Amino acid sequence: MNYFFDPIHFHEEFQITLILEGTGSLFVADNAVPFKAEEIYLFGKNLPHVFKSDKSHYDNNGSSSHSRAISVFFSQDVVKNSLSGIPEAYAIQRLLDFSIYGIKVSRESTAFIRKSLIKLTKKKSFDRVILFLKILKAISEDNNLKFISSTGIPIHTVAKNIPNITKVFEYIQNNYREKITLEQIAALVNMSPTAFCRFFKYRTQKTFSRFLIEVRIGHACKLLVQDDFNTAECCYSCGFSNISNFHRHFKSVTGMTPSEYRKKILATNA
């Protein structure tokens, strides 16, 4: 990649990203942290995230010519299934489990993993698989991994339920600005509201209403660091109907008020 700042997104694949060049803010679920060159991050399946470059990295045309990264995507389920029953791979299995919170690799482990990720782009077929597993092993042995999000979005599901969960996620991401009712979402996956609530809570370990709030707050966090959006505009642009509820939910998710959050992010980018 040679630029950062797509909309907040999530995908089925596990992701490892090495920042080669650039600085900015990384948004993961309910949290935002600064990023810089030489850092390595991991994102589990269906974890909302986005890298936003500092304004200094954008040229007059709005493109970011000074931000570069290597990102590796792979099927988390395929890797876990392939390693199941191998005692020596337990640490890797746990790493994949914890990736739902977003992970930052410690500085002590970065050098070897950085070199390996760069080599990975030049490997072919089986050699690429072997090196990839060595990378996962090295990360799993890092005793100073840092979790980024306090909530994450754990998706404990089986293959037959992935289409329903994905359909709900996509609908929310495309329509979070609008009023969304439980009846609408339940009908989307051909369930009764009661059955859908049980299904969603079992598969994601959180209620649908909480998930919707976290998605909206995630988008609000992104808007708050843009100079042309004030708190009220963020509130109504993210699907909240009044400022009071917006402030209450924002603090319940991030632990800060919108103004405190904005000050924190701007301070880290100063």
Give per-residue pLDDT as tens, 104-145: 999 999 999 999 999 999 998 899 999 999 999 999 999 889
Task: Provide Rg for the chain, Cα atoms.
Answer: 19
Say what the pLDDT of residue 87 is: 83
How high is the pLDDT of residue 65? 53
Domains of the chain (ranges plus CATH)?
A: 14-147 (2.60.120), 159-269 (1.10.10.60)
Q: Residue 158 has what pLDDT?
A: 34
Q: Quote the CA–CA distance of 253 and 31 in Å, as a whole number.
A: 9
Note the pLDDT of residue 160. 46
Tens of pLDDT along 24-48?
Answer: 888 887 677 889 999 999 999 888 8
Q: Nearest 5 degrees, angle CA 71-CA 73-CA 77?
A: 155
Q: What is the pLDDT of residue 202?
A: 72
pTM: 0.56
The CA–CA distances, whole Å, from 269 to 15, 66, 212, 248 equal 25, 16, 28, 26
Mark 17-30 as b/e (b = at least 16 C-beta within 10 Å).
bbbbebbbbbbbbb
pLDDT at residue 64 in the model: 47
Q: What is the pLDDT of residues 236-246, one digit of tens each?
A: 999 999 999 99
Residue 193: the pLDDT is 93
Given strand 146-147, what is the order of strands in its sheet? Answer: 68-74, 14-21, 40-43, 103-104, 146-147
Low-confidence stretches of the chain (pLDDT < 50) are 1-3, 62-64, 153-160
